[in-house]
Amino acid sequence: MNPATLADAYAEVARRHVGLPEMTPGWLAAQPAQSLDPPGAWETLKTLKPVEGWLQFQSCVTCFDQGRMPEPEPQWGFLLAAEAVDAESRSCLIRQDGTGGLLLIVATSGASEGAEELLTDEVFQLATGKAPGRLHYRRYWCRDPEMGFVPCFAAFLGFARTEDC
């Protein structure tokens, strides 16, 4: 069953059960993960020119928007994780790789070369008081032979600044 057919079947179920989120087919292209040391990850993230997102350092979690990414203070320590979106709506994620390094993944929505068609929905998560709004994500669901469709990637879309999330 392809994502479009599954989305149609899901929509029929959702019509009968109040409160289920809308799911639609969507495309995702993720660049292969780059393995970097923390200073290299920070420098690479800066070159992507994110417009908004959140950053987690050893001793500080901070958010930014309007393209004003902060310059880390020395007492913050090393970068541990980040999620941001750039002006082209690419989702930029930094995660720990389990060996002391960091992985950088840049993901693009939309049909393009190398993109995979998946099922998607959108979710909003609470953020710290420092954030200008809730965290907004597009989740991508892929088929697992044993478990059915499961979330396989969450792309940060930015901050939702309205209460009707």
Query: Which sequence spans correspond to the domains of the chain?
Result: 3-160
At 165 the pLDDT is 42
Point out the residues of the chain with pLDDT beneath 70: 162-165
* Residues 62, 55 contacting (CB under 8 angstroms): yes
Please give the single-letter amino acid code of residue 72: P
Measure Cα distances from 69 to 29, 60, 86 in Å: 25, 14, 11
- Predicted confidence at residue 118, as pLDDT, reads 93
The pLDDT assigned to 130 comes to 80
* pLDDT, tens digit, 9 for 90 and up, residues 86-117: 999 999 999 999 888 999 999 999 888 889 99
Give the pLDDT score at 113.
83
pLDDT for 9 equals: 86
What is residue 163's predicted lDDT score, i.e. its pLDDT?
A: 59
pTM: 0.88
C-alpha–C-alpha distance, residues 45 and 128, integer Å: 22
How crowded is the C-beta side of 51, counted as CA atoms within 13 Å? 12
